[in-house]
């Protein structure tokens, strides 16, 4: 896999040649007019016409932007010419493009132009190689092959391409084009790459200008790494030759040349950064795993090129573990650098030995200054772990130099790279000390006097040039790194210094930082937030991070943020400070009203807060606690109607009603239960899940079953009767618009019978300790028992009516449903407390229905009947046990014996 040129610097600004990796045009932005030189390029360009027209030459006077646009245009012409099978024209376009590299009048702009030319060269090289592969193997990507497998016609075509290249008169276009066609040699000779690469590298010695020669070496190394990495000595020799040419670039002649062009020489040296990176990368990639390549590079730095340019890229490109291994030596080289020494000398005060920041930063006489060297060094130290005895030494030595940097942007560049070091390798004490020093520099910087940015700039990341970032960007990046790295976000945000630094950020930086902090707080491994000051800070960061959501935001992004806010809200736990906890929930609902899941979860959290309050007071709360619980119930009562999903509203009302019952607030509980029952009518018959539309029958059965279980313990109304809520629920179930083939109504009616039978018992199966249920309020009341029997009979009649409707459907599922519901109803009535002659007749009627439908069920499809036989058998066993128990009692009606007969028939 080849190494691509790409950049983290933009190159259009002469002031920003910081961290550059391998150039790629997609990372380069177009130049603005203020970055353009006032002079214009004089270019000699070939005018391309049809193949049969004689070539002409034209002198064009173009600005650099015109040159970039011309290069983009030529790239499109290259692709179109190849598609049109105009191979000669394609070659001419490539040659014309490489001639652009001969003009080094404006070195600041050379890297971007070089990137565009390389892109054209790569396109041309790929097209030629794929064309030859197609001729030889009928596929553009045949994998590995030997020249023996290639037919003579393809070899002849390959040879013709190489002969065309060798006939190019100019040296520079010939070298670049031949390097782009390096893979073509594999069609002609075995293992051709090493010999060819050495020849091409030797030819670069004939290029007079060191800048052009350096970029030629870099491109040859790039193409060489795509095909072979075995000959490490070749790449080392190339690197040594590059350093020799770099030293030549520092000659008095070149300095005079740059002076005539009004180019600062230290910035001119940075133009060599991409070449330096590519050459170092080729040495590293071609080395053996056992080789200590950093030791070799440090030796070259000492003997051949003791310059900050090499030291900077040595640290940047080398593996982090090897950099950390030689950390002491690298630190000593940084201190010994001419630019660093000059800066430290300028930073000293004449009185005493104390080091303080100077009023004006020292001028950097070399390519890269102290802040860039320390920045890249800190990044590598954060990627690997130094020895225990070196951890504090490295931090102290580096920060002695870093704290002397008076320019806040340069200082924050170092701090942004080093902030992860104390978090990963030291303790919170060292982290706080570092944050204290950062706060000291930021608070005294004029750039942070106003925290409002006129034009927000994206936060610094791996694809953004760090030198072009403003101090505000760097501070935001620094705090984001803290949030991303620190194992406990609760501990980090509890640092007052961290909160003070966050207050300096503008809206753009606060948004990114807030999102990162909330994501970190929401991690399951993070402890809960128990401090009110910390929770308030986090709440403010959440506001800055997510208040931008509007109707144009994609739903997936809204759902993601919704889930994140839910996790954040669940992390806040004030313990016994329940009023502060409720205030936090109120603020969350007020600020984030558009998030559905958040509103649902907040209601559940408030209901949990009610139960927490009851436990704290041991269910013997004061008037103040009662007032607080009423406030919580009001919060839920107001919030629930704003929830869009009907099923979610029902679930939340069930939870809130249960909380009201546990609190002993019967008035609030009655209101909530009545509201809960009325919500059934709003339940839709279907819902959309993904791309499918599914029925809500099962969900509605589950929800109404939960309501019934809650009504069992809810005390009756003092004026409207003990069964007011049950009657309302029966009415709602009967009036609901059930789908024609739905079995849910029959199941719900049978469960209503079970609920009514449960409240008729002398002692309910479960209670709520804070209230008296109907078994206490209406004990031994004949009127209560009579009304209950009438209500059960009413529900039974509704069940028979539903069964008659199911008979019309006449399907296997309908028969199964009727059988199970009938047996379930008989079982429920038989186990109920009110067993009269009428009840026994109802049980007999249910069993007759089950017997009839069971016979039809068996006849319809025996296999399906056997699949449901276990369910039916279970109900029959329960019925036989209940009949036997009832028969032993003296007050059991004689009709019970008839019931037993019907059970036996169904069972058989």
CB 242 within 8 A of CB 275: yes
> Using CA atoms, how far apart are residues 376 and 487, in angstroms rounded to an integer?
24
Q: How far is CA 538 from the centre of its chain?
A: 19
CA gap 425, 491 in Å, rounded: 17
pLDDT for 851 equals 55
856 band by pLDDT with thresholds 50, 70 and 90:
low
* Tokens read off for 842: 């109802």
Better-predicted residue by pLDDT, 254 or 205: 205
Report the DSSP beta bridge partners of residue 40. none
Of residues 459 and 62, more confidently modeled: 62
The answer as to whether 262 is a domain residue is: no
Beta bridge partners of 57: 46
Q: What is the structure's pLDDT at 471?
A: 85
d(CA 62, CA 527): 63
Q: Residue 865 domain-assigned?
A: yes
Q: What range defines the domain where residue 856 resides?
A: 838-908
**What is the torsion angle, in degrees rounded to the nearest 10, for the CA atoms of residue 647, residue 648, residue 651 and residue 657?**
-120
Residue 867 inside a domain? The answer is yes
Contact 5, 274 (CB under 8 A): yes
Higher-scoring residue by pLDDT: 152, 56: 152
For residues 546-574, one letter each, b for 16 or more C-beta atoms within 10 angstroms of the residue's C-beta and e for the rest, the string is: beeeeeeeeeeebeebbebbbbbbebbeb
Average pLDDT over residues 47-67: 51
Q: What is the pLDDT of residue 675?
A: 92
Confidence of residue 366 (pLDDT cuts 50, 70, 90): low
Q: Dig out the tokens for 792 from the structure.
A: 């059960």
Task: Indicate the SS3 state at residue 51.
Answer: coil
d(CA 623, CA 626): 5
Residue 150 near residue 192, CB atoms below 8 Å:
no
Least trusted range by pLDDT, from 96-110, 555-569, 751-765, 813-827: 813-827
Residue 419 lies in a domain: no
pLDDT value for 583: 92
Give the C-alpha separation, 84 to 823, whole Å.
Answer: 81
pLDDT tens per residue, range 638-668: 999 999 989 999 999 999 999 999 988 888 8
| Residue 551 per-residue DSSP state | T
Q: Of the ranges 60-74, 580-594, 887-901, which is most confident? A: 580-594
In a domain, 573, yes or no: no
Listed range (363-377, 500-514, 595-609, 756-770) with the worst mean pLDDT: 363-377
**Where is average pLDDT lowest: 465-479, 551-565, 619-633?**
465-479
pLDDT tens-digit readout, 598-649: 999 999 999 999 999 988 888 777 788 889 999 999 999 999 999 998 999 9
Neighbours of 740 (CB within 10 A): 7
Instruction: Let me know: does 301 contact 368? Beta carbons within 8 Å.
Output: no
pLDDT at 641: 92
Residue 685: is its pLDDT beyond 50?
A: yes
Nearest 10 degrees: Cα torsion 183, 186, 190, 195: -30
Q: How many domains does the chain have?
A: 1
Distance CA 764, CA 711 (A): 12
Of residues 588 and 762, more confidence is placed in: 588
pLDDT at 357: 45
Where helices occur in 742-868 by DSSP H, the ranges are 744-759, 774-777, 782-809, 812-831, 837-860, 862-867
Buried b / exposed e across 840-849, counting CB within 10 Å, b at 16+? bebbbbbbeb
State the Cα–Cα distance between residues 628 and 585, nearest whole angstrom.
Answer: 14
Is 69 part of a structural domain of the chain? no
CA dihedral 422, 425, 427, 432 (to 10 degrees): 0
Inter-residue contact 422 to 431 (CB < 8 Å): yes
Q: Give domain status of residue 659, yes or no.
A: no
* pLDDT at site 635: 93
* Per-residue DSSP letter, 717: B
How far does CA 175 lie from the centroid of its chain?
Answer: 45
CB atoms within 10 A of CB 44: 12
Residue 35 has pLDDT above 60, yes or no: no
SS3 content of the chain, % helix, strand, coil (to 5): 70, 5, 30
Tokens describing residue 26: 């997609």
Give a yes or no: residue 481 inside a domain: no
Q: Return mean pLDDT, the chain.
A: 77
């Amino acid at each position: 896999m080849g190494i691509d040129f790409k950049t983290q610097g933009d190159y259009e600004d002469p002031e920003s040649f910081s961290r550059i990796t391998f150039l790629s045009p997609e990372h380069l932005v177009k130049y603005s007019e203020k970055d353009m030189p006032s002079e214009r390029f004089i270019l000699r360009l070939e005018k391309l016409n049809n193949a049969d027209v004689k070539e002409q030459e034209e002198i064009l006077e173009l600005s650099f932007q015109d040159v970039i646009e011309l290069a983009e245009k030529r790239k499109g012409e290259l692709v179109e010419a190849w598609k049109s099978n105009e191979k000669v024209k394609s070659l001419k376009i490539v040659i014309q493009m490489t001639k652009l590299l001969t003009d080094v009048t404006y070195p600041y702009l050379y890297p971007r132009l070089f990137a565009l030319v390389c892109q054209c060269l790569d396109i041309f090289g790929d097209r030629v190689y794929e064309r030859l592969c197609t001729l030889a193997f009928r596929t553009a990507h045949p994998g590995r092959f030997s020249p023996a497998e290639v037919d003579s016609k393809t070899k002849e075509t390959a040879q013709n391409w190489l002969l065309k290249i060798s006939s190019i008169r100019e040296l520079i276009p010939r070298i670049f084009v031949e390097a782009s066609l390096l893979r073509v040699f594999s069609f002609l000779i075995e293992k051709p790459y090493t010999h060819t690469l050495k020849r091409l590298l030797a030819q670069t010695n004939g290029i007079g200008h060191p800048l052009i020669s350096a970029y030629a070496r870099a491109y040859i190394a790039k193409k060489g790494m795509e095909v072979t990495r075995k000959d490490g000595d070749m790449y080392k020799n190339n690197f040594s030759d590059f350093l020799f040419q770099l030293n030549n670039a520092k000659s008095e002649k070149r300095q005079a040349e740059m002076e005539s062009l009004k180019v600062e020489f230290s910035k001119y040296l940075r133009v060599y950064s991409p070449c330096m990176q590519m050459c170092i990368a080729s040495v590293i990639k071609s080395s053996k795993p056992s080789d200590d390549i950093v030791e070799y590079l440090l030796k070259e730095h000492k003997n051949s090129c003791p310059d900050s340019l090499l030291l900077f890229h040595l640290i940047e490109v080398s593996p982090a573990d090897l950099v950390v291994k030689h950390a002491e030596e690298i630190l000593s080289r940084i201190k010994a650098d001419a630019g660093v020494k000059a800066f430290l000398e300028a930073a000293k005060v004449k009185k005493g030995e104390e080091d303080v920041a100077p009023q004006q930063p020292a001028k950097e006489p070399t390519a890269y200054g102290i802040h860039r060297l320390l920045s890249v060094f800190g990044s590598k130290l954060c990627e690997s772990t130094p020895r225990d005895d070196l951890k504090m030494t490295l931090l102290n030595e580096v920060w002695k130099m870093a704290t002397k940097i008076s320019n806040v942007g340069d200082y924050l560049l170092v701090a942004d790279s080093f902030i992860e070091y104390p978090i990963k390798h030291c303790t919170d004490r060292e982290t706080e000390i570092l944050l204290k020093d950062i706060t000291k520099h930021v608070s005294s910087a004029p750039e942070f006097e106003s925290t409002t940015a006129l034009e927000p700039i994206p936060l610094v990341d791996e694809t953004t040039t760090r030198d072009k970032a403003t101090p505000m960007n760097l501070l935001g990046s620094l705090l984001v790194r803290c949030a991303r790295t620190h194992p406990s976000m609760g501990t980090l945000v509890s640092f007052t210094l961290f909160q003070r630094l966050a207050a300096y950020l503008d809206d753009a930086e606060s948004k990114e930082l807030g999102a990162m902090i909330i994501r970190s707080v929401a991690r399951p491994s993070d402890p809960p937030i128990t401090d009110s000051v910390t929770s308030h800070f986090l709440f403010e960061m959440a506001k800055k991070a997510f208040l931008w959501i509007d109707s144009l935001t994609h739903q997936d992004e809204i759902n993601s943020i919704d889930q994140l806010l839910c996790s954040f809200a669940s992390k806040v736990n004030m313990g016994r400070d329940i009023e502060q906890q409720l205030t936090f929930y109120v603020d969350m609902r007020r600020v984030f009203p558009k998030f559905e899941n958040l509103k649902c979860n907040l209601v559940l959290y408030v209901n949990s807060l009610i139960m927490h309050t009851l436990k704290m007071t041991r269910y013997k709360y004061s008037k103040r606690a009662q007032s607080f619980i009423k406030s919580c119930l009001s919060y839920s009562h107001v919030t629930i109607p704003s929830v869009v999903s009907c099923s979610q509203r029902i679930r939340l009302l069930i939870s809130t009603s249960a909380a009201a019952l546990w609190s002993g607030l019967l008035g609030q509980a009655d209101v909530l239960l009545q509201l809960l029952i009325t919500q059934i009518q709003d339940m839709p018959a279907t819902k959309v899940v993904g791309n499918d539309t599914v029925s809500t029958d099962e969900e509605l059965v589950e929800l109404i079953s939960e309501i019934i279980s809650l009504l069992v313990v809810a005390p009756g109304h003092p004026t409207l009767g003990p069964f007011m809520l049950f009657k309302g629920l029966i009415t709602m179930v009967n009036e609901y618009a059930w789908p024609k083939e739905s079995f849910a109504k029959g199941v719900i009616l049978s469960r209503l019978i079970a609920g009514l039978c449960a409240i008729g018992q002398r002692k309910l199966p479960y209670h709520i300790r804070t209230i008296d249920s109907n078994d206490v309020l209406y004990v031994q009341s004949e009127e209560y028992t009579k009304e209950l029997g009438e209500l059960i009979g009413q529900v039974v009649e509704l069940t028979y009516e539903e069964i008659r409707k199911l008979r019309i459907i006449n399907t296997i599922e309908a028969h199964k449903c009727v059988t199970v519901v009938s047996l379930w109803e008989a079982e429920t009535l038989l186990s109920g407390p009110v067993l009269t002659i009428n009840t026994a007749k109802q049980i007999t009627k249910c069993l007759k229905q089950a017997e009839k439908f069971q016979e039809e069920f068996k006849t319809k499809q025996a296999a399906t009947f056997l699949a449901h036989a276990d369910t039916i058998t279970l109900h029959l066993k329960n019925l036989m046990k209940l009949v036997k128990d009832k028969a032993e009692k003296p007050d059991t009606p004689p009709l019970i014996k008839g019931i037993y007969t019907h059970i036996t028939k169904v069972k058989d």
